[in-house]
Amino acid sequence: MAQTHDDLNAKAFSLQPGYDETLVRAEFAELMPLRTVIIYCFDPRASGIPDAVARDLGDVWPGEAVTDAGGEIIGTTTSVLNVVVAGGRALDALRSITVAQHLLGVENIAVVHHTHCGATSYTAEGIVKAWQEEQGVDISETYPRESLCISDYVASVEHDARLIRNAPGTPRHVNVHGYVYDIDNGELTRILEDRGTA
């Protein structure tokens, strides 16, 4: 049977009696040893990316669930969180970076674009024009042009690394890593490493 509105809200941390935000944050940070946020494409062919990046950065992925004495899953041993978005473009990931830092603490952010990506199959002008014709809606000012598609793999990774670095919601201490992943052979090519400030 479906749960009621109250049943569902009984599982919301901020609605608990005596809720203490500072305490809840500290508990969250203990439940997952997060080091690295990986931003990559929602294309199913790109699903090997977390594995490849974790190997390169020495992360634990996929890790294992951690259970308490009662068998409830209360944590994980993985040190990776994934943000899976169209083209692996960083614009869609900025809010997630802020939340990951707030709850768990982040050391590395990896932005990864991949070969044969659908984001290289159209242009910014093309998607704006098609949206106007097919949906009758003008999205020309909705998204920055340079984040709409990919026209040059190195330039797009460099752009996204700069976007992450300059975002107010990115902690200054994080290292930003840029890669291109070859979906034919699983090879990861490093484009850049931008070390954070202590």
CB nearer Zn ion, residue 91 or residue 117? 117
Query: How is residue 15 written in tokens?
Result: 């609605």
Instruction: Tell me which stretch binds Zn ion (CB under 5 A): 49-57, 110-118, 123-131, 175-183.
Output: 110-118
The residue from 38, 91, 110, 117 that contacts Zn ion (CB under 5 A) is: 117
53 in contact with Zn ion (CB under 5 A): no
Least Å distance, CB 115 to Zn ion, is: 9
37 in contact with Zn ion (CB under 5 A): no
Which residues lie closer than 8 Å to 143 by C-beta, 6 or more apart?
Answer: 91
Q: How far apart are CA 110 and CA 47, in angstroms?
A: 15
Site string for Zn ion, 129-158 (x = CB under 5 A): ------------------------------
State yes or no: 114 annotated in a binding site: yes
Size of the site for Zn ion (CB under 5 A): 3
State yes or no: 117 annotated in a binding site: yes
